Amino acid sequence: MPKTIDLTGKTCVIFGVANQRSIAYAIAQQVAAAGAQMAFSYQNERLKEHVEKAVAPLGSSLLVECDAIDEAQVENVYRRVGEKYGRVDMIVHSIAYAQHDDLGGAFSKTSLQGFRTALEVSAYTLVPVVSKAVPLMGEHGGSVVTLTFDAAGRVYPGYNIMGTAKSALENIVRQLAAEFGPKKVRVNAVSAGPLPTLAARSIPGFNEMRSAYETRSAMKRNVNHEEVANASLFLLSDLASGITGAVIPVDAGYSIMGL
Ligand SMILES: NC(=O)c1ccc[n+]([C@@H]2O[C@H](COP(=O)([O-])OP(=O)(O)OC[C@H]3O[C@@H](n4cnc5c(N)ncnc54)[C@H](O)[C@@H]3O)[C@@H](O)[C@H]2O)c1
């Protein structure tokens, strides 16, 4: 296939690889194949080895520990990226977390602490991840992609507080897109259909979601990692230079159906 996206000389920072099934990993494969220099953050020491092993086939890259709720650690990622590559052009934010007790069961039982945790990790972290990178983007600007889910706008029983978090995340995408648009920084979200990953395994009803997509989506099937990564690559690249603040569904047309 002819290479239509060339990211040679550009730097991409990826937050959210846990293993080779992570959506962030599928995106990283595409971005690295398009020629970009890569930097990865891993959440904590426990994940370091898995992430190191997962990203090794993608060639030489920078790895930095970062719990994204700690702004100093986010700053440290960009300091290290600045030292090694001197610039940031693309960012992938593929981070989410909710406490086990707040997934499944009655939504009204969500605790305040559970609300704070889910919203802080899954939505708020996009704010420092973008704003602290802007100085390194310089005059050329940059492009950011985050991952959301249809539950931002509709109820998926079991997904509970994560739906609230995705709603907030999509709003944050628009707020950041508006604020940093004049600096040529674009911020978009890909709304992916359900994919089997580590995070997805903790969602009660995940298998029902997969079967609903298979029977009720316009295309009568689920999407795969590569399709979500392809759309993300497009948004990260200059081919999407006129798109910002958007939520692009990669869901085989599930969200357009009424029945
Ligand atoms: N898998 C799906 O069906 C699906 C569908 C739509 C959207 N998404 C979204 O895609 C994103 C990636 O999830 P995934 O499915 O690839 O699962 P995953 O488990 O592979 O990735 C989740 C990542 O979040 C990271 N993370 C959690 N808390 C963090 C913190 N405090 N600091 C830094 N990193 C933290 C984890 O380390 C992990 O790498 C999430 O935002 C998820 O909601 C997933």
DSSP strand pairing (37-42 vs 11-15):
parallel
* CB 114 less than 6 A from any atom of ligand 1: no
Q: Is residue 207 part of a domain?
A: yes
Q: What is the CATH number of the domain that holds 103?
A: 3.40.50.720
Tell me the CA–centroid distance for residue 16 and ligand 1, in Å.
Answer: 6
**Amino acid 138: pLDDT:** 87
* CB 250 less than 6 A from any atom of ligand 1: no
In 3D space, the residue among 34, 21, 2 whose CA is nearest the CA of residue 11 turns out to be 34
Give the helix/strand (H/E) hosting 135.
helix 134-137
- Tens of pLDDT along the chain (259 residues)? 455 899 999 999 999 999 999 999 999 999 999 999 999 999 999 999 999 999 999 988 999 999 999 999 999 999 999 999 999 999 999 999 999 999 999 999 999 999 999 999 999 999 999 999 999 998 999 999 999 999 999 999 999 999 999 999 999 999 999 999 999 999 999 999 999 999 999 999 999 999 999 999 999 999 999 999 999 999 999 999 999 999 999 999 999 999 9
Q: Is residue 259 part of a domain?
A: no
Answer yes or no: pTM beyond 0.95: yes
Q: Is residue 1 part of a domain?
A: no
Q: Is residue 4 part of a domain?
A: no
Tell me the CA–centroid distance for residue 244 and ligand 1, in Å.
Answer: 22
**Amino acid 140: pLDDT:** 93
| Integer CA distances (angstroms), 72 to 77, 89, 117, 118, 149, in order | 9, 21, 18, 20, 28
Q: Is residue 6 part of a domain?
A: no
In 3D space, the residue among 66, 19, 53 whose CA is nearest the CA of residue 199 turns out to be 19
* CB 146 less than 6 A from any atom of ligand 1: no
Q: Is residue 5 part of a domain?
A: no
Q: Is residue 257 part of a domain?
A: no
**Amino acid 39: pLDDT:** 97
Domain count within the chain = 1
* CB 232 less than 6 A from any atom of ligand 1: no
Q: Is residue 180 part of a domain?
A: yes
Q: By residue range, what is the domain housing residue 125?
A: 11-252
